[in-house]
Chains A and B, each alone.
Chain A
Amino acid sequence: MASTELSSPLTAERQLPVSHRPPPGRKAAGRWLIVVSSCAFGLVVVAQGLGATGVIGFAFDTWRPSLYAFLLWCIALGAGLVMTKGERGHQLLFLLPALLFTVAVVIFPTFFGLYIAFTDWNLSSVGGRQFNGLDNIRTLLGDAFFWNALGNMVWYVLAVLVQYAIAFGLALLLNAEIRARKFFRVAFLLPFMLSPVAVSWMIGKSILEYRFGPAATLARLLGWDSPAFFASAWLARSSIMAMDAWVSIPFIMILLLAGLQALPHEVSEAAKVDGASPLQTFWKITFPLMLPVSLTAVVLRIIFELKLADIVINVTAGGPGGATDTISSFIYREYRDRSNVGYGTMLAEFYLVIIIVFVTGLLALANRLMRRFT
C-alpha cells in the first residue's frame, strides 16, 4: 500500500520512462483522445441501432462494427488515461482490462436478459418477440415444476453438509501419520478433476446401470432384487447426490486438509498430555480451530452447488417426474426442448434474485458464526 508514494524526492530525477506529472500539452491531447473516441464509439452504436431498426436505409450484417468500435475505445481510453494522469494512469492500466472485460461481458447480458424476460419470445414461433408485461411472472408463480425444482435445490444444498462431514473425515485420515500419503492424496483428488459429463456416463449410465452395472450386480448379491437406482423419486435423487458428492468431496477435503496442516501442533499435543481422548480433542480443539476454513469451504461449495446441472441433464434429464430436477437443468430443457426463450430467461433472472438474497444471507450468517467462535 506504500506504493502510492513510489517516487520519493530521491528517485524523482531518475524516473525517466514515466513522468509523474505529464506536460499540459499531452494532458490536453489525452483528454481529447478520450472524448473523440467516446463520441466515435457512441456514433457507431447509434448508427447501427438505427440501421437495425430500419430508421436509416443502410445496415451491416452483424454488430461486429460496434464490437470493433468498443475495442478501439478501450485502447483509446487506456492511452488517454496514461496521457492525462501519468503515473496514476499507469496504475489504472493494470486494472482496466479486467474491469472493462467483466463489465462489458456481464452488464450487457444482464440487462438484455432482463428485457428478454418480459417478452413472450419463443424461437419456434414466427411472430418474433413481443413484450408481454408480467405474464411470465404470473406463469412462473403457478409453475409447479419450477417450485418443485427449487424444492429439490434445498435438498441438494443440504447434501453439501454430508459432503462436508465425509470430507472432514478424509482430511483427518490424510493428516494422520500414514504411509503412501501422496498416493492417497492423488487418488482422493482425481474425481474432482473429471468432467461431470464423463462422470454421468461412467457412473450414472454404466456402473449404476440396471442390468449389467457392477453396482447393480453388487446390490443383487446383497439381496436387493431389483436395484433400479433411478426409478423412485428419493432413490434417483440420492443417486444424483452421490455422484455429485463423488466429484465435489475432494474440493472440500483439499481445503480442510490445508487447514489441518496449518494448525499449530502444540495445541493438540498439549491436549494429549492433559489426557484428553481423541474425540474430546477433536470437538474441543480441532473443530473450533477449523471453523473459519470450514465455513469458507462450505460456502464456496454451496455457491457451486447452486449451479448443479451437468450430471442431472445427462443422467436423468430431471426425471422421474421432476424428482431430480435442478433449476439449471429445468431451464436448460426450457431452452433446448421447448425453445421458450422469454419464459426461460425470466426463470433464470428470478433464480438469480433468489441466489443473491440467499448467498448474501449465507455470508452474513458465516460472518456472524466466525465472530462468535473466534
Chain B
Amino acid sequence: MNLALPAMKPRRKVVSSRVLIYAALSLWAFISLFPIYWTVTTSFKLAVDVTQGHLIPWIDFEPDWRGWRSLGLSPDRIVEVSTARQEFLQRFANSITASVGASLLAIAIGAPAAYGLSRFKYRLGPWRNDDISFFFLSQLILPPVVLALPFLVLYKSLAMLDTKLGLIVVYTLMVLPIVIWIMRDQFNAIPNELEQAALVDGASVWGAFTRIVLPIALPGMVAAFILSVVLCWNEYFFAALLTSTDAKTLPVMVASQTGSQGIDWWSMAALSTAAIAPLVLIGIFLERYIVKGLTAGAIK
C-alpha cells in the first residue's frame, strides 16, 4: 500500500489531465464548428423551426428546401429559369474571377520580384534589398479606407469603376506583400548551386528561374496562391465601394441582404452557406498549404 501510493498518484494525475485536455479541445472545436453547423442546418429550416430553436435535423425538425428554393438552387427549382439563381451565380463567378485573377497576377509579378530580392543585389538610389523588401511589406499597414476614395476617383476617370479588372488590380495590391513575403522565404531556402549549374550549362537567368527554381518552389507558390484566394474571396470593403451592379462580389451580396431583417433566416442561411462552402472545402482539403503560407518567414 505504501509502495503503491506514489505510483498511483501521478497516474491519476495523468488521466485527469488527459480528460481536461480533451474537454478543452472539444469545447473549442464546438465553438469553432457550431456557427457553421448552425448556418448549414438553418438553411433547411422553416419559420417554425427557427422560432422554436430546433437544432438537429430529422430528430427535432424535418429538413426542407425552402431556403435553397429562394436562391433557385433546390432540386425542384434547379431546372427552371430563376433570376435569383442567375444573380447568385453571377456574383459567385465575379468572386472567382476577382480572387483567382488577382492571386495569379500577384504571383506573376511577386514571385520574380521575390526571387530577385533573394538572389541579386539591387541598388535603387539609396535603397538596398532590405529597404525594397520593407517597402513592399509596408503596404500591409495601409488601411483600405486610405486608398478607397482615391481609387474611386481614379477608376471613375479610367472608366474602370464596377469592373472586374478594377477589383483585380486592387486585390493584387492587397495580396502582393504577402506573396512576396512567402515567396522570398521559399527562394531563400533553395540552395544557389542548382542555378549555378544551370547557368554553367548555358541557361539564361530567366531560364534558370523558370525551369530550375520555380518547380522546386511550387509548394510555396501554391500556398501563396491559396492564401491569396482566400483573402480576396473574403474582401468586402473595396468591393462595397468600387462595385455596384456588374462586378459585385459574393460578400457584397451577402451584406446587402443582411440588412433586410425579419424572419427570412432560411434564405440568408442558404446564401451564407453557399458563400462559405468553397472556403470550408479549401480549409478541409488544403489546410497544410494555408498553414505553410501563414507560417512562412515567421519561424526561423
- B72 in the interface (beta carbon within 8 A): no
**Residue on A nearest B24 in the bound complex, by CB:** A173
Q: Is A144 an interface residue (CB 8 A)?
A: no
| B residues 218-256 touching A (CB-CB < 8 Å) | 230, 233-234, 236-237, 240-241, 250-252, 254-255
A133 to B177, CA, bound (A): 35
Chain A residue nearest to B199 in the complex (CB): A6
Q: A189-B283, A198-B275 are in contact. Are A296 and B298 (CB under 8 A)?
A: yes
Tell yes or no: B110 within 8 A of A by CB.
Answer: yes
Q: Is the CB of B32 within 8 A of A191?
A: yes
* B217 CB–A CB distance under 8 Å: no
| B73 part of interface (Cβ distance < 8 Å) | no
- Residue of chain B at shortest CB distance from A306: B143
CB distance from B11 to the nearest CB of A (A): 15
- Are A109 and B120 in contact, CB atoms less than 8 angstroms apart? no
Asked if A11 contacts B117 (CB within 8 A), the reply is no
Check A198–B276 contact: CB distance below 8 A: yes
Cβ-defined contact, A98 with B143, below 8 A:
no
Contacts of A17 in B (CB 8 A): 202, 204, 207
Interface string of A334-359 (1 = CB under 8 A from B): 01100001001101110110011001
A187 on the interface (CB 8 Å rule)?
A: yes
Q: Min CB distance, B262 to chain A, in Å? A: 11
Name the one of A87, A106, A309 contacting B205, with C-beta atoms under 8 angstroms. A87
A341 to B: closest C-beta gap in Å: 6
A116 within 8 A of B: yes
Interface residues of A in 161-205 (CB under 8 A from B): 169-170, 173-174, 176, 178, 183-191, 193-203, 205
In the complex, which residues of chain A have a beta carbon less than 8 angstroms from the beta carbon of B154? 108-109, 112
**Interface SS of A by simple majority:** helix
CB distance from B57 to the nearest CB of A (A): 15
User: At the interface, yes or no: A132 with Cβ under 8 Å from chain B?
Assistant: no
Cβ A106 vs Cβ B173 within 8 A: yes
Taken together as a complex, chains A and B put the C-alpha atoms of A307 and B143 apart, in Å, by 5
A227–B148 Cα distance when bound, in Å, is 37
Which residues of A are found within 8 Å of B158, using beta-carbon distances?
62-64, 67
Binds A, one of B1-9, B48-56, B60-68, B80-88: B48-56
* Chain B residues numbered 274-291 whose CB sits less than 8 Å from any CB in chain A: 275-276, 279-280, 282-284, 287, 290-291
Q: A62-B157, A94-B116, A97-B113 are in contact. Are A170 and B28 (CB under 8 A)?
A: yes
Given contacts A109-B154, A206-B38, A332-B145, contact A92 B28 (CB under 8 A): no
User: B47's closest neighbor in chain A, by CB?
Assistant: A212
Interface pair A11/B200, CB less than 8 Å apart = yes
Which residue of chain B is the closest to A261 with respect to CB atoms?
B299
A184/B29 contact (C-beta < 8 A), A64-B158, A217-B53, A359-B141 known? yes
Report the bound CA distance from A183 to B236 in whole Å. Answer: 29
Chain B, Cβ-Cβ closest to A8: B200
Q: Which residue of B is nearest A211, CB measured? A: B51
Inter-subunit contact A202/B149 (CB<8 Å): no
Are B192 and A2 in contact, CB atoms less than 8 angstroms apart? yes
- Are B294 and A251 in contact, with the CB atoms below 8 A? yes
Most B Cβ at <10 Å: residue of A97, A169, A349: A97
Instruction: Point out the residues of chain B lying under 8 angstroms from A352, CB to CB.
Output: 142-143, 146
Nearest CB of B to A4, in Å? 6
Establish whether residues B32 and A355, one from each chain, have CB atoms under 8 Å apart when the complex forms: no
The contact sample of 29 A-B pairs, CB cut-off 8 A, is A6-B205, A11-B200, A15-B199, A15-B202, A17-B207, A90-B205, A92-B122, A98-B110, A98-B113, A102-B173, A106-B139, A109-B151, A112-B153, A116-B150, A173-B24, A174-B25, A185-B287, A188-B32, A206-B268, A206-B269, A212-B53, A254-B290, A255-B298, A258-B298, A307-B144, A309-B145, A314-B258, A328-B237, A355-B141
